[in-house]
Every structure is written in structure tokens, then in C-alpha cells.
Structure 1
């Protein structure tokens, strides 16, 4: 116990069960106001974090105001009594290497942030403990925590931000409207019991949160405040705090900052007296039409709530068997029949008191035709499981694997760690077990049998998703518009299901059986730990000849019995043409398909592999527990070498690839836009539509003849990293050579990556119309070319500029201007060049988005020039901390090494070089950088914009609608100039004007007629018309009309030129042919300096 002004702080637990290598200290406390907190002391962390999970979510929304909880989540960020500036919190985090986010779920709302753990930059030595600055000043965590705590003490719900944040919620909802995940989730919810909050529309939109409530006479701000006051209480809050500070100091901070959160002693949110589905919702088959080309069968069983069964977790036994992919499994059988591409199974917790168990099958075209047979096989397998007693050896195997995973669990990013744990604290786990909730502690066969009893024919419904079946959908879901049809499962079909459920071993399909014992369970888990003064920053080349380059590093940092063996088989054929790319991808899919049953056991045992293509050739990776790594590697290599292309599997995978390429063009615009940027900036790159076109003509013999050419001759690049000895690395490399028996590929034939150079003074725009006819969102990537990626000083300037504009761009373009939910800015790295980019997804047309980006960049000139030195230095320190952030686990170091090897610059210490270069930059350096590369008035900057245009749009679609919108906007402009214009007068003046023509002169002249008739002073009229002339083009773009500039109009200058300076790219090969290309990668350090053939590692 410890005492505070507010009362006694109760210490709940300190001896938390933790992983073997966890060097953190933990303490769980409860404040006098019943807020519970987990304090985590990590002496070495460079990122501190906090998260608060509140036991209230969208299930608590008012029935007639869906989205309330989500809206409140947004509004809490917008200023508090102690820190009233709406972006004070995010500004503070941005200047201290931080970030924040939040999410709203069914019964919880989770807020979290991370920030630099210390106030000094990563390459500086901290103050000594005896120095005044060390004893008096508190680090960035305290400042962030103070601002964060005020969300729960006294938020302002600022009136000035209300409309903007509700529009942000609306934009977030519109982002999801064409997402099948969201559409199908809401369909299930909408087709549920209206008396249960599962029925709610969770996100909310402008209609539900503003327009409809206001029509009912509600003052929406008051409603949100009432929701907050009714549901936010200290006893419903769980806090996790991670930092370098001692547990005692953190306890003092939490007590000081969070004891003021009001405790209303609210009960836990539960809905025990009602279920999401009643009898009338079961026994149904629901057919739904997706946006993407996909086919699936989902079976849903109302299931037991396992909240209090945390020791035995019976669902895991059932999920393991039904979701198994090895021999004897459901998937193995239906895949052999050609009916399925994949299967998954597991629980879906809904809320305390309710859950589902779901089985998802990804169907082939034949599987769709036979979905009844697929369902029958599933119920026959369930019958097999329930027929006998649960098998303890299966449970013990799962228990053993869970213990191994927990024992060697590595650190995760700070904010993810805090957010996840704060959510777990809402569950009734013993606090000593908070870190180990994945362990299986108790074998309870009776409980497994009880859980199995929920999986029966009178307790399920099914969802069949396909674009072309049955075709007669007769309903549309209210919130997302998903076409669907609901009907009772036909009697003959239900009879087949009951029959399957009642089968015995005598008449069951002989191909179905329980899995065999997993031979990949790791047994050798020792790690030879040798202390080093400092971990090695680079791998070494322990073999380097014409055929093989083997990079190696034995782990000296994380000490886990894991490793990774990455291979790149370099062959220029793979990336020579779009057809070759498709054939290579086809080959990889066929190999993975052939290996699926074998490799599944390895995956369960923490050992995985991947096989894919890159611009260099084929990439293979085997990683996980190193005990049986070479066994899996050998199987992968022999499967690659000996692949037989079977026509029946070829057809299934061809159909799958066809859908994949098609669906890629139905992704959200902000996903797609980067593909187009890559297409326009890489010397050799293609689009999904080009791959799809080639795929149509590829047959079995094409793939069968192609892959031996790749394997026959190549250069082998290898990275062996982790708990591996030098001999292990050399032996596995020999295995690659001896298995594939390839010839050496001369270096002169290696593919060289290069990028086109966007020349100074250029202003390119590339426009594409999105394929999805129902997507209302447009997208833009606005890219400014900066220069050579290997220019370390230029790279540092770009990174610092990106750091300085990150929060202001988001605040201006998203928060204030509400252009869209997706707004992102930052550095863009290509193979050999770097640039600065802004990405926005919005209902507004791309031309208008471009104008607003230009406006932001123009405004930032003043921000930069007037930036106080202290703010400039804070930005530098924040960036340095980011570049020097510690690696969290072995996999992150492997990824870093492999990325630098693949770049061919071999710049393994790039982050440290960046930090050093940033430290020496001055504000004048950044002003010069801005004027040369960023300033819209610059004649030396090069710009490329990609505009993705929606077919469907929320903007006006008819000339009359466009006119109405424009007149509304013109009236707003005049009102800002304190000129009130009668709406009828305005409409009468524009009655015969064709606004949709975009004729700016005609619009301004018509406005002059209106103003002349108002009897205004001549100077007042002139000022209003001058303002109108400079703004009307932007207003036309805003409603989707391309303006026509009139003669003599100066307008906005872009890149030193007028509007006519824009070059629209209509022929990409021709555009690329006109531009210079960069040099290929040149190693930062001579590769021979990494050679260490005799190292005793």
C-alpha cells in the first residue's frame, strides 16, 4: 500500500509470470477511485507508452443514434480544460518522437500513445543522476501522460471541432463502404436480434450523429457529453504505463494524474439476459453479393462465453482440429475434391455473455456449386470429434507449443504492448497471469465436450458469399447496401446435415481422421549466450564467390532459439516481362499449394517458410525455431525442383490469380495509388491489369517449361541469422546448391534497379478512373522528386522536413479542412531515389485535393521561417530518436539486414548516419531545401501527381445540382466578406448560366451584375469581385468542374508557370522514354570489407 492525497493506492500484484528473457518489472495497482493500472518498468526501452481501455463501446450507443461511442472517441482528442488547444496532445507527441491512436469496439474504447522514453536524443548521453536537469526535469512520458489523463478528467467537447470530427467519422465510414469485411460484418449484425446491441451500426455517419438527431430537436454536443458522463468512470478504466522510470515513480505519476478521474461505480457492461440470435435467426442460409470477386461459406454457431474458462480455453482444442490443414483434415479432403482454397475456424467473442464459433471456407467455383457437400463434410468431422473422448495427447501437444512460445516471447512495439494489455485487463484473468493468457493450464475434457455440444444442426446458420450466385438477391442491407437474400435452409439439405452429424466410424468418410503427432515440435531449445560489449551492426560475408554470397550473423542481442535463412535466387528472366512475372508467381503458388499439408505442422510448431518473387528473381525464406529448420528447408527446395504441374490444381490456381489481379483494382484508392506511383517512377514496372491480361494466355506447359529455366542458372544470395552456427549456415547453403544444381549467373546479367528522374521545373499529372463503380472516394499521391537516395545529407534534410510537416499536414488537411479520413505525408523511398509525398483519399475530386496540398505547402513556408530555434531542435531530436530506435526482436533485425542486402547499397548503419547528419542541420539548410524542392513557386522542383477518380461520387452529378452547390459556396464567400446576398436574387441571376461549362469569366460577370444591383460602394464591389475571381476556380474544382480560365487572369502559379504548364501523362512508355534514369545502386561500403571467411562465429 502507498498513501496519496486522494487516499490509499492498493498494490494488487507484482510477481507476474513472464517470459524467460523478459527483463521488465511489473506492478498492478488500484487507485482510490478504483482505476486499475499495470505499471511496467523497462530500463532499456527507448519508447514509453500508455494506454487506457474503457469498458464502453458501440454496444452502449443509443438505438436511435448509432456511432455515439465512436464519435466520443474522436472528440476526446479535441482539447481539454487544462490543454484547450485542439491539437496540443498530438503536437506534443510529434515533437517527442511520438504517435497516438484509438479504436472503438463493441464493449471497449481503447486510447494509446507512445513517446520518446527520454528527453535526450538517441545518440546523446543522458544527464547524470546528480545533475539538476536529471533530478528536476521529468521526461517526455510525464508530459504526454498529463495531457492524456485530461481526456478522462475534463474534456471540452469543443463546439468548434464538433462538426469537423463528425465529418471525420463520416469519412471513416465512407472509407469502409466498399470493404467486404465491413459489409459482411454489418450484414450479420443487421440480421440479428434487434433487442441485442450486436444489431447496432457501430461506426456511425453524419446522418446518424448529426442530421437525424438535429431533426428530432436534439443538441448533439449535449448528447455526446451525456454519453461520456453516463459511461466513462474510473472503475471501468484499465491503464497500462510503460517507461524507464521506476515503478515507484510511475505509481506516483499515475496517482497524481489519474486520481482525479471521477468514479461513478458503474457496473460492467453485460448483456446476459438476451442473445444476438434467437431461434428465428438460426437454420437460415444467407446469400450475399460481395464487392470483390470472392466466394466463401461461413458457418456460425452460437457458442459458450469462455470469459471465465481462461485456464482450459476449450475452444482451442476444437479450433485446432476443425481448422487443421494436414492429412485427415476437413481442408485436406475438400481441397483434394477441388472445392476449397482454404479454411479457418475459431471463436468470435461478442460481449460478456455471448459468442459465436465460426468456420470459414474459401471456396473454388466447384466448391460453390457443392457448398452443401462442403457443409456436410464439416458436420461429419464434428461428429467424429464428439464421438470419442477428447484426446489428452492433442491437448498436451498444444500446451507444450504454447509454453515454448511464451517462454521465448520477444518484445513488441511499446504502444501495441500497452494497448493489448489494457484490453486484457478488462477480462477476469488473475493479475499474475496478464502476460501469459496464451498458456493452457488445465485439461478439462468435460468442458471440451460441453463446448462441442454447441456445434450441432439445430444451432447454426450459414452465409454463402459470391458475386454470381444465386443472382436473385432481393434485399439491401441498410447501412452498407449489401445485396442479400435470406431463406430457411431447405429441408432436404438440413436432413443431409443431420445425417452427417449422426454418422459413426462405420459409415464415415475414411479420409477424415484426427491429425498425427507433430514431428516439428522443437526439442532443442538451447541458446549459447556469449556476452558482447556491443552487438554487431552488420552481418559478415562468410562465403563470397561467383555463385554464392552468404551473409551471416549469429544472434548476439535477443538470445532466442530461433533463426531465419533467407535466399534470393537471382535470375533476370523473372522480371523481364509481365508474362514472366505472372508465370513466376504461378509457379510459387503451385509450390505452396503442393506443400500445404506438409508445412502446416511446421507452422503450428513455430517454423514457417515463404516463397515469392522479387525484381531479382525468386525469394525463399525459412524461419522460426531453428531445431528442425534444415528439414523444412530441404523439403521446400525439393518441392521447388520436382514440382509437377497438375492440370486440375493449375486451373484452380489460375482462377484464384485471376480474381487476385481483378480484386487489386477494387482496393481502396489509397492502396492503389502507390502502385501507379511505382509504375511511373520505376524503370521497369507493370500494373495488375497488364498481369491480368497476360494470365489469360498462360497454360500448364508455359509454367512447366518456365520454372526450370529459373532454377537452372542463377546467383544465390543468402542471409543466415539467429541461433545458428557458422557451420549451420554453410551446410544449409550447400543444401541449396546440391538440391538445385544450378549454374552460375554472371554478374553482367543481374537485373539492375533504377528509377526515372523527374526533371526540375516539371509538373506531371497522371489520371486514372477507378474500376469500382460504387466507390465514392478519390485518391491522390502528390510526389515531389528530391534526388539520389545515396546522398546522405539530402536524405537527412528530407527526413527532417517530413518530420516537421507530419503533424501540421494532418491537422490542416484532415482535422481542419476535413478533406478525408486518410491523410498521410512523409518521405518516399524508391530503389535509387527519394521524394516527398502526400496521400489523401477523399470524396473531393483530386484536382481540388492537389490545390489544397499546394496551399498547405505554401503556408508552411511561413511556419518554417518563423519556427523558434527550440522547436526546430525538438524536431531534430524527435527524428534522431526515431532513426536510432532500438530493434524489438530478432525478426526486426533480420528484416533490416535483408532490406539493406536487397537494396545493394549494403548501408547497414544508414540510420546512424542519418541521425548524425540530422544533428548538424540548421534551419537555413531546411529553408534552402524547401525553396529548391518543395515551394510551389519554385522553378527547380519536380512534381508528379497521380489522380485516381471515382466513378461514383458524393458530389453533384447533374448541372442543376452543380449550380446549387456553387451558389451555396459563393454565398459563403460573400458572407465572409460581410456581404449578405438574397438566395432568390442569386438564383434568378444564374437562371440561364451554364455553371457546368466551368467558364470563370461568365460566373464572375454574373456576380458583378448581382453586386451592382445591391447598391454597394464601388470599392466594396471591386474587392468582392477580386476575391471572387481568385477563388471561383477552386470552388469549381471543389464540386467536380474543371475551370476554364479567362484571358488576362493571373490565377495561381504552379512551378513558376500558369495552369497550362501541367503535363498530363497519357502514354506511360513515351513519358518514361523522355526522362533520364538514375544510376544503379553503388555500395556505400566496398563489399570486400564485409568478408570474414575465417571468423569463429
Structure 2
């Protein structure tokens, strides 16, 4: 199997006697195991008369099986053992995956296998799960992506299964008696959930031999099956469905233009990656790119190339643009510029093999030095790759570019013609004449005119548009600096004069990479929301300005961002270490020298986008809006979207003339340099930093204050909403912030998480969005419980949560049989090693922000858990139940048309007034 020369994992492919293909991965030092099973059947396999059946089946598999008949048995088991489980239904695949502590793998796999192959399909639970599917459907009815997707389906070939309704709802499923629907589920399951139609991937800290044994125990008894025939699919689009424009009316404010080209499946070219090469060239954001040209004309503000739906016989290649008001009036000029760029690529690519060599080098660097992703993502991807790749390329497939061949690129370009194009126009005010099924999206299809086809077929040359130059940021050296034990953890190598610099070396991952953080704590943050709005605008203008010059650094694996935080703003660079400090110094210098230029050039465009973004945030689903208000209520310098929208509207370019000098007038700087650098390089960097420090006045590190909710009665804040669904978030603020208080908050949340989900979603059928979470604010511990419901009022949801807590917290001692196992699993989670260098950098950076200067907070929490008795947690739970020294904040929105009664508590009428009168935890 082809793997990176630096990959420390071990791999084993095997096929069980029943035909199940399995990829086993040993991940050294991991204490967890992740398993993913992918099935070659999705909504394309739905019967025409019962669309959404595959999705309903996905839900039903969780609700009881032959040997584990309780609903959500696997969910509760992995939750109790420090894990998670999830699933999704796609077009041609369905995937189930979970992760758990490795010592519980046998029990987990036994449940997983039983769930996948021997479901019960209990009729009462089918009836209940239809409610869950319907709640999920209703949740997405105002989601513009889902609404756009339905129009896409309705403007594709009705004989192709892509056109089917993939989600399902009560209207579809209630057509059938439950007994008949059950038989349809059984038939679908028996046909598709067979060993020759499934692939398994398991990633674990256990040895390959142990994994092989565990997998065989779990799956060997499953009966073998004959391979399924492949689906024969017609063309995705008919002749009348290409060469068209599609007008689509969105809910949120946007002005989007998506130009799509209908390609056949290009998987056979995975070793040449023609789509990736074309995405790189058409999606370039450098100085002479297509996007730079569109920006110079004030026609577009962003452009992405290469995304789009794909399947076994189709692939859409999309060019997705956000337009300006002027751009809406110049759409045909924009499309002509796209075809001009395509013509340029067609002309130059045959003689420029170096572009493929550069792309291959970037792919190899990304493969050799990839940041280890989430094991669940990798397991799901690799189990899917088992269907599509020869076994030697299962792991390398997504990076492999070893056939430098122009012909596949030319083949793809041959489909990028006006006659084969679909243009989606998505903004308000468009003429429409149809309403899409299910999501009620207004749309209209219009054939391209003869004049338009002629204009696009013979585009004019645009000298301003050029293909990118060779990338100067590709590292020429990946030499590793030998680390010393002196810098295993960050060491403060410079302090005083309003600036602290910390340095640490990578002593674990052996990668030529690093991260550099610099936080500016600015006293001007005290000036309120208008300063916060100006900071938001200033940073956005800088990012636009710097992207023009440094876009290609990101392509070469050297990333940067400038982002706001409560006390000021930060710069973060990460990626290959060779050119990174030079990039960082350039950014720091130009923040000071280029602010006026950035504001002059981008202010008006950024302001329009910020207003649009904030207006759209007010249209987010209710639960998201409630969590935003939770942060606004609890954090001193956090402001809500509605307030921020008004402040941004009132911000002018003239008012910002002195903003940088005000921001820099009194500052404290804190820096972390972590990765593949020597101490000498860190010292030089520190000296440069001091010379470039723009602050004439030395400031202090600012506190990240949190409102103190304790010793108060329940506080209640209502968020107005026009939505049909109610939503509630209840936040409990723990009495203290000692390690013991943190430990008990984490353990208590773990105890209630799975029962809460099962009770509220499966038993009570209150909604699709249900959950709990351990949620610290600036390290002060807390617990949240939340529900969004299409069928209950907010006060009913609060009552249900209260009843649940009464039932489950009144007798914590009933958890005695699981107590030690629960503690062990939480300890294992807390002691999990960082998955990659950037994750470690982020952890160290957060520790500095929280004054954890020994970088051992998790160790202290672990010690607190080890010494914790169940009786102590019982007292903690009793205090939470009785609100003794716990703060409680209820945030809710009432669904239109649902039963409405008052949520009891002390009401917060005005957030500003509330925070002004509040005490803060410092």
C-alpha cells in the first residue's frame, strides 16, 4: 500500500470469509478506536414510490437490533465510554461511524455489527422516527443550500435518480401503513446491507493482530452474499437542461452566480487530477487572476472553482462567485471573462508541463506532511475509497498525482463550452415562474440566447488575466531542526515593555512546520461597540489587501489569518517553517504601513459584505441564534449581530481615519513561536518584533471577563423570532472554577448526555436538534442543554428539561456500577495526545491565554477526577438541581403558532443594561 515515507501508522487489508473488505490501521500512541462502515447504497436506491427510504433506514438501524433491542443502545454505550457515533445518507453511499476508547472495542463492534445486519424495525419506533425525519426536513426548509439543491434536482433528468427527494417526510411515509413501510425497510436492507456491498475501516491504537481478531469476532458470522449489480444510470441532464440560465430566489441576502459545466465521471483520472489542476488555475486569487480582474471591475468579491455534485456517471465543475450590485448588471461580461480564461488555459497548458510538476510537488508535500485529520473523517474516507481504488492506493488516492498528462485536462476542457453550461443566478428580484417541491423555492429556467452563445463561444482576449507565475513559497528545504529538551514546553524568552515572547520546539511530530501566534490586547477595546465594529471592518479590509499578495503562500501550505477577539486582535501563521517567519514579519510591518491603503481600497466593498453577513446571521436557525445570544450575554466585549449591524451601518471611512493609531495607542503583546525553528531563529524573530512594535504606550494584558450568574434566581431572556419552531438553551454556570469544579461539570454532562438525547428525541419526539454540552466560558465551567422543536412551545420545552433533570439528577448513586468506568474514560479523553502539530500549538496558545503557564491544566483536572467520589458528584448534582450557588440562564424563542405560556424567571429586557449592572468573574 502506498503511504507517505513519514507515516507512522501500520496498515492491513483483509477480506473476511463472507466477502467483507476491511482496512485495519494501527495508530501508535492512540488510546481510541474509530470504525466506519460504508454501504454502496444511498438515496439513488430509493423506490420511486417511497423516496427518502434510505434515510429512514439509516435512522431505524439505531433503534434496536437482535441482541441489543433497546433504542440507541450503541449511542449510549459509546457515549458512556468517551465516544461519539453518527451516520449520513448520500446519493450512492451510506456511512455509519463511531469512536470509543480502545478497551471497549469488542463490546462496541458487537453492537455495531448487530445494528447493521440484524435490525428489528419495531413498528412503534418506525412511527416515532417518521416524526424525527419530518422534524429534520422542516428544520431545513429555510436553508438556502437545501432549497438550491432541490431546484438542481428539478432541473436535472427526471429519469436519473439524482432527481429523487432524498430526505423524506411525513407526507411521503404516511402514504403507507406502518406494516407496509416496515416491509419496504426490510426489503431495502436485505438487498443492500450485504457483505459484498459494504466496506469497513478501523483505526486504532490496538495492534493489527488484535484488530483483526476483534473484527473477525464481530463480523465473521454474518452470512456471505452475492455481489450486487451496478446501477445503470442515464445522463444527468437532458439536452434541454444544458445551455440554460436558472433564476433562483433565495431567503438570505446574496448575489451569487454559479457557472456549472456538466462533465462525465472523471475518477479514472485520479492519478492525473485534471479537475484539481483546473480548479487551481481558474480559482487562482493572485494579482493577475480571473478573480483579480473581476474585482478590478467591481463585479465580484469572491470566486471558488471546482466544487459541484459528482457520482458514478456525472460530475459538475462549478465556478461560484459572489457578485456586487454592478456585477449583477455585467453577468454576461463575467461569463465571457470565464471563457476567456478557459481559452487561455487551453492555449498555454500543452506547453507548460511545469504547472503539473508544481502541482504534483504540492500534492506530495501535502501527503508527506499532512496534519492528521480526525480519525472519523479518515475512516469514512478510506472505507469509501475501498470501493473506488485499487488496494495499493486506498490511503494515497486523494493526494496521488504521479501521471503528469495534459490529455485528461484537455478532455475536461472539451466539456467547458457554452452549450454544456448551466448558469445559476441567485439573488432577489429575479423573474420566476415555478415553485420547487418540498422547499417552495421560486425559480425559472431560460435557454441561453443565440447572441449569448455566440458571445461566449468567441470570447475576447483579456490581457489583464494571466495564469499564475511559479510559486515562490514552495519550500525548497524540509530540513528538521533537532529539538532540545529545554523547549519541550513554551519558555518565555523575552518579557517586559508590554510584550512577552514564548518559544517551544516540536519534539513529537518531526515535521518541517510550525505555528506563530501574536495577540494584541488593546485598551481601546473598552470604548464599546463602535470600536468593535471598526475593528471588524479594519481586519476585513486588511485580509482582502493581504490576500492579493500572499494568496500563493496558502497554496504552498503557508497560511495566515488576522482575526478579532474580545480584547483586541491576533495574527496567526502556520504551515511550513522555511518562509513562515519572513511572511509573519511582512504581515506585521504592513499592518502598520498599509492600513490606510487597505481601508481606501476595500472599505465600501467590505461594508456591504459585512452588512449582508450580519443581516443573514439574524436569519440563522433559532438554536444558532440562541447560542450567539448566550455568548453576548456572558462576555463583556461580545456584541450581538443586531447591535453590530447598526454599528457597522453607522461606520464611515472618514470615521476610521485615526482608528489604527487609537487601536495601537496602548497595547500588550503576547507571542508564541512553536515548531521547527532553532532558538537562534526565535531570538532574531523576537528582536525584529521589538523593533516593529507599533505601540508607543505599554499596556497590560486584559481580562476576559464573564458575567457572574451565581447567587441569582433563574434569569430568562427571550429572543424574538418569526420561525415556526421553538428553541431553548439552558445554561448552568458552575459554582467555582477550580479543577474539582471543572471535573464534576465534565462528568455530570457525560452522565446526562445520552439519556437526554434518547428521552427528548426518541421517546418524547420533541425535535431533531437536541443535545447537551460541557461549555466553559473563559475557563469558567458550565453545562448547556438545548432543544429546537417544531411541535412544542418554549415553556413546555423548559418544563421537559426540568423534568428530565429531576428524574436523572435526583439519584446519581444509581450510576455507581459505572462510576469508575466513567472516570476512566473521561481521563483517557483528557490524556489524549495532540493529533497534529497545529492542534498542539493551539492548545499551548490557549493555555497562555488562560494563564496556565505550567501547561498542565489537563493533568490537574485528571488528578481531581481520580480523587473524586461519587458522593461528591451527587452533592454537586443536587446543588445544580436546587440551584444552590449554580447560576441559571434560560434563553428561548417561541415558535409561531405553537402553544405559548410564560417561561418563569427574572427577565432580562436589555442586554446592555444587564451587563452594566452585572458583576463579572475575572
TM-score calculated relative to the size of structure 2 = 0.96
* 8 Å Cα contact 1:347/1:358 also seen in 2: yes
Q: Which runs of 5+ in 2 are unaligned?
A: none
| 1:237 shift after superposition | 0.6
Q: Which of 759, 779, 783 is the aligned partner of 1:836?
A: 783
* 8 Å Cα contact 2:150/2:437 also seen in 1: no
Secondary structure of 2:733's aligned partner: strand
Aligned partners of 2:434, 2:601: CA distance in 1, in Å?
37
Q: Which of 142, 153, 157 is the aligned partner of 1:178?
A: 142
Aligned partners of 2:789, 2:446: CA distance in 1, in Å?
38
- 1:763 is matched with 714
Secondary structure of 1:348's aligned partner: coil
Aligned partners of 2:838, 2:760: CA distance in 1, in Å?
36
* 8 Å Cα contact 2:772/2:785 also seen in 1: yes
Q: Which of 160, 171, 180 is the aligned partner of 2:124?
A: 160
Q: Which of 768, 771, 778 is the aligned partner of 1:821?
A: 768
Aligned partners of 1:735, 1:476: CA distance in 2, in Å?
61
Secondary structure of 2:19's aligned partner: coil
Aligned partners of 2:825, 2:599: CA distance in 1, in Å?
55
Moved more, 323-332 or 754-763: 754-763
Matches within 5 A, 1:432-471: 432-467=393-428, 469-470=429-430
* 8 Å Cα contact 1:298/1:464 also seen in 2: yes
- Summarize the Cα distance change of 1:337–1:70 in structure 2 as closer, same or farther, 3 Å threshold: same
Does 2:840 correspond to 1:893? yes
Does 2:83 correspond to 1:98? yes
Q: Which runs of 5+ in 1 are unaligned?
A: 1-15, 118-138, 958-1038, 1044-1058, 1081-1097
Secondary structure of 1:316's aligned partner: helix
Matches within 5 A, 1:138-217: 139-208=103-172, 210-214=173-177
* Cα deviation code 1:675-706 (max 9, x no counterpart): 21122222343211111111122111222320
Q: Which of 313, 316, 321 is the aligned partner of 2:276?
A: 316
| 1:30 shift after superposition | 1.2
* Cα deviation code 1:201-244 (max 9, x no counterpart): 11111221x21234xx9721111111111222111111011223
| 1:38 shift after superposition | 0.4
Moved more, 856-865 or 223-232: 856-865
- Summarize the Cα distance change of 1:832–1:84 in structure 2 as closer, same or farther, 3 Å threshold: closer
Q: Which of 645, 662, 665 is the aligned partner of 1:709?
A: 662
Does 2:726 correspond to 1:778? yes
Q: Which of 438, 442, 453 is the aligned partner of 1:483?
A: 442
- 1:930 is matched with 877
- Summarize the Cα distance change of 1:709–1:1073 in structure 2 as closer, same or farther, 3 Å threshold: closer
Matches within 5 A, 1:303-702: 303-390=263-350, 391-467=352-428, 469-470=429-430, 472-500=431-459, 503=460, 508-530=461-483, 538-574=489-525, 576-643=527-594, 644-645=597-598, 647=600, 649-702=602-655
Aligned partners of 2:501, 2:592: CA distance in 1, in Å?
21
Aligned partners of 1:678, 1:91: CA distance in 2, in Å?
29
* Cα deviation code 1:18-40 (max 9, x no counterpart): 22332221111112222100011
Q: Which of 59, 68, 72 is the aligned partner of 2:57?
A: 72
- 1:230 is matched with 191
- Summarize the Cα distance change of 1:277–1:631 in structure 2 as closer, same or farther, 3 Å threshold: same
- Summarize the Cα distance change of 1:621–1:484 in structure 2 as closer, same or farther, 3 Å threshold: same
Aligned partners of 1:361, 1:738: CA distance in 2, in Å?
41
| 1:536 shift after superposition | 6.9
* 8 Å Cα contact 2:672/2:845 also seen in 1: yes
* Cα deviation code 1:90-123 (max 9, x no counterpart): 2221222111111111100011111112xxxxxx
* 8 Å Cα contact 1:798/1:827 also seen in 2: yes
* 8 Å Cα contact 1:190/1:199 also seen in 2: yes
* Cα deviation code 1:700-751 (max 9, x no counterpart): 122232013223542221000011122222323333333344224232xx43
| 1:268 shift after superposition | 5.2
* Cα deviation code 1:47-94 (max 9, x no counterpart): 111110000001111122111111111111111112112232122212
| 1:349 shift after superposition | 4.7
* Cα deviation code 1:879-907 (max 9, x no counterpart): 11111111100011111111122223446
Does 2:601 correspond to 1:742? no
| 1:314 shift after superposition | 1.4
- Summarize the Cα distance change of 1:351–1:262 in structure 2 as closer, same or farther, 3 Å threshold: farther
Aligned partners of 1:819, 1:729: CA distance in 2, in Å?
55
- Summarize the Cα distance change of 1:667–1:1041 in structure 2 as closer, same or farther, 3 Å threshold: closer
Secondary structure of 2:579's aligned partner: helix
Aligned partners of 1:389, 1:618: CA distance in 2, in Å?
42
- Summarize the Cα distance change of 1:249–1:879 in structure 2 as closer, same or farther, 3 Å threshold: closer
| 1:529 shift after superposition | 4.0
* 8 Å Cα contact 2:487/2:503 also seen in 1: no
Moved more, 491-500 or 457-466: 491-500
- 2:751 is matched with 804
- Summarize the Cα distance change of 1:33–1:590 in structure 2 as closer, same or farther, 3 Å threshold: same
Aligned partners of 2:883, 2:649: CA distance in 1, in Å?
47
* Cα deviation code 1:801-856 (max 9, x no counterpart): 11111111111112211211111212221126322210212222221111110010
* Cα deviation code 1:137-195 (max 9, x no counterpart): xx311111111111233111122321222222222222222211221122111211110
Aligned partners of 1:1042, 1:817: CA distance in 2, in Å?
20
* Cα deviation code 1:459-508 (max 9, x no counterpart): 011101112x32x32221111111222212233322221221xx5xxxx1
* Cα deviation code 1:261-304 (max 9, x no counterpart): 343323354334x1111111112111111121111110111113
* Cα deviation code 1:356-381 (max 9, x no counterpart): 11111111121122112111100111
* 8 Å Cα contact 1:340/1:367 also seen in 2: yes
Aligned partners of 1:717, 1:44: CA distance in 2, in Å?
32
* 8 Å Cα contact 2:35/2:99 also seen in 1: yes
- 2:682 is matched with 729
Matches within 5 A, 1:1052-1063: 1062-1063=905-906
| 1:1042 shift after superposition | 2.1
* 8 Å Cα contact 1:56/1:269 also seen in 2: no
- 1:284 is matched with 244
Aligned partners of 1:301, 1:834: CA distance in 2, in Å?
51
* Cα deviation code 1:564-589 (max 9, x no counterpart): 11011221213531111111111111
- 1:10 is matched with none
Secondary structure of 2:33's aligned partner: strand
Secondary structure of 1:396's aligned partner: helix
Q: Which of 1076, 1080, 1096 is the aligned partner of 2:919?
A: 1076
* Cα deviation code 1:489-538 (max 9, x no counterpart): 233322221221xx5xxxx1111111101000111101134586xx9773
- 1:13 is matched with none
* 8 Å Cα contact 1:575/1:617 also seen in 2: no
- Summarize the Cα distance change of 1:895–1:849 in structure 2 as closer, same or farther, 3 Å threshold: same
Secondary structure of 2:525's aligned partner: coil
Aligned partners of 2:623, 2:230: CA distance in 1, in Å?
37
Secondary structure of 2:730's aligned partner: strand
Structure label with greater radius of gyration: 1
Aligned partners of 2:199, 2:866: CA distance in 1, in Å?
39
Does 2:899 correspond to 1:1040? yes
- Summarize the Cα distance change of 1:407–1:685 in structure 2 as closer, same or farther, 3 Å threshold: closer
Aligned partners of 1:724, 1:436: CA distance in 2, in Å?
32
Aligned partners of 2:289, 2:636: CA distance in 1, in Å?
46
- Summarize the Cα distance change of 1:663–1:730 in structure 2 as closer, same or farther, 3 Å threshold: farther
| 1:940 shift after superposition | 5.1
